[in-house]
Every structure is written in C-alpha cells, then in structure tokens.
Structure 1
C-alpha cells in the first residue's frame, strides 16, 4: 500500500510502543518519517529498521520550545512542508491527588499537554503548506472518563481533547487545509505495561472494566492513527476516536 507516498509524517514518542507501531505502519505505506524521541539509541535502531529510506531520527525533549523552533526550521529547509503530525509522546504516574507533588503534576502536564501545544504552534505553517495537513493528538479514555489516582493525567489528556477541537476550528476558519483529531486509547499492552498483563491477577484487575476482556495492542491504535491521518478521513476534524474495547460504552 502506498497511500502515504510522498508525504512527510512526524511522530513523537517514536522509539517504542504506540509510536513505534505507528512509525512502522506509516513507513510500510510509503511515508517519509521524522522520528522524535528522547532515547537516541532506540530511535536510531527504529530508523534503521523501517521500510524505505530517507527517514530521520531526531532526539528532542518535546517540552523544549527552542527545540521545536529549530526542528521546524530544519523541516522547512529539507522538505518545505509537513503533511502529518502525530503528537504521541506522553506518560503518567498514578497516585492520589493528596500524594502528588507539584513537580509531578507539572511534569505530567508538560509532557502530555504542553508538548502538543508547542508542536502544533511551530509545525502549523508547515502543515498548512502541505495543502492536506493532518494532526493526530494522543489523548486517552482518561480524557473522557475519570478514574481515581489519575488526577494530572486526566487533566492533561482532557486538555489534549479540547485543545484538539480548538485547533480544528481555528484551522477551518483559516481555510488552511489542516485537520485535527484526537485519539483515545483504553488499556493498551506496551513494553511498559506488558509485565503487568503477564500476571493473571493484576491483569484481571486492570481489565475489569473492559468488555472485550483483553488489552489492546499498539498496532490497533496505529491503525486508527493512520486512518485519521489519511485522506479517508478527510471530512473529519475536531473529532475524537475512541479505541478502548468498549470501556467507555458502559
């Protein structure tokens, strides 16, 4: 398949998990990848194993505005445009609000939410130059429904959800051809969470609210990301795509 042939796709958090699966899928369908992560060595390995050529591995702290400014200049000089932006980088620490430090709060908000703002702001001129720019922002079911012990994470992912809608409206008003949608995964088996799912007792607790009865896999989220980034979803903007095994249907 070559539905992304000639298109430039930037994916943050590309060294593992959902970001890695997404990068692999884009490359397999003809895109040129700009892989962004903090882990330089893993990123190089990912780049070297992708289908196709001309992919770029970029070590970047996604909360660093000057880093985004420099990257935008680099992309402009090399390609003159950006077709797809996938804001995937994120993490969470889960504990009660009263046990969460201000430092922990700010760290989670910064990586999960500030990074989306910075990437969107500084990549927007390049996305507009594409003529069919697509932004896919990684939110979560925790951006829609809450759970105890997820205060900063819920705040960040809820922020991503609403920020995406504002982005979509502003782009529509500007008639710049850029669409923005958010994706909301449920419980996903990634390298970080795999050990928990390998323990039957822990897995039972984690999946108690999942009607399908199993965690999702990174490629199942990647499939949804590619749909939102493709022309197949060209009439979708400001939407939220939930991929959660039925969790939020209850």
Structure 2
C-alpha cells in the first residue's frame, strides 16, 4: 500500500524498570489507514511498548507523536480525545451493563459528553441512531439488551473493540484481539475485524501468525526490546534474521 504521512510515530523509545532496560531505542511509524502488526517472543517488550503508546507508562526516554503532537507525557484520556483508543487482551467490560449501554457510553465521547451518566441517554435520538448502527455492524443487534456477562467470549471481544470504534478513534491499539478464541471463532472474527477497521490506523499485538499474515499491511518484529525488522508480510516471512529469532518457532502458535 502507498505510504501516507505517519499518524503515529515512536522515536528513540527507551523503557527502564530500575536497572532493567525493557525497550531499547525503538523507532516505529504507523501510517493513515495502515494495519501494522507487532510480533515477537514472550518477554520481547510488546506489552510495554503498547502501554507506553497508550499512556499507561511514561517512557524513560524518547518521543511518541500522534498526528505530529507529542503525547509521551499526556494522560490516557487526553490521548483518547486526540483519537487514540486501545482494547486489552482481557476485555474491559462491565458485567451487568447491557451491550447497548456499553456502546452508548463509548459513543458519548465524540459529542464531548464523556461519561456523563446523569444525562438521559435514552432520549438522545442521534446518539441512539449511531449506537443502532454499531450494533448492526458488530453483528450484536440481537444481543443489544443482554448484559456483557451473557455474551460468548468472541462476542465480548467484539464488543470491546466495538467500543473503541464507537468512540470514533482513528488510531486503534488492539492487544491480542483473537486471544482465547477457538479456530472457528477466529475464522468468523477476522473478516469482521477487517471490515470494522477499514480506513482506521491499526497497531495490533497478535500471536496467531495466521491472523497476522491475513490482516497486516506491515509487520514489526520486536526481540529483546529492540526492533529487529519492520516490513511487508512477504519480506518478514523471508527474512532469515526473523526466522532465526522468532518466526520459525512461532508459525504454529495460535495461543
């Protein structure tokens, strides 16, 4: 795909915990509308990098820019207001809140309302129309009035990602979106994810190499806190250094 100007830039990022350096001089760019997958063996620093980008960690050194605005020192909610949203490996849902109300809360952000629960959301026709649209796109319309606890695992993952999308974020960080799914659930979920994120900038951590090679425009390989390579799926598959460090031993990993 043709590369546009970078939407998300990580430059010279270091992350230390005491004397331990978990990330070392990581440089990475994600472009508008690009799907960029981040892979690497356990302990490579993938979650640490995600936490730094999303705002859960402040980098020890380096720069993170969103739409060319420095965000490394910004709190999570400010990054969200600028159009950056994250889903987690374990879905962050309220067990007794309905699917519809989860999406209502997320859809409040574009209107500048945030989580103002005292407003009578049920009377806001424009908001409800958007929520109905998302319920259809997420294939959750039949579950709209069920609670999150009543959903299957794959449906919970779909709702979690749907909340990020309903907030109208343009840059999405997805932490192992298919983790815990069966092969059949994954097979149904991946085309839905591709459709839902069309036009969005997507950075995802994913261990299922089938999902990575099916979805990603480029793949970044992180090994021992350093970026080993970042290229097209075809180039990454053929890269001897990547094969030695990770890909050969992980190709069958679907955890």
The TM-score normalised by the length of structure 2 is: 0.34
Tell which has more relative contact order, 1 or 2 (C-alpha 8 A, sep 6+).
2
Please identify the structure whose Cα radius of gyration is greater: 2
Larger helix proportion, structure 1 or 2?
1
The TM-score normalised by the length of structure 1 is: 0.35
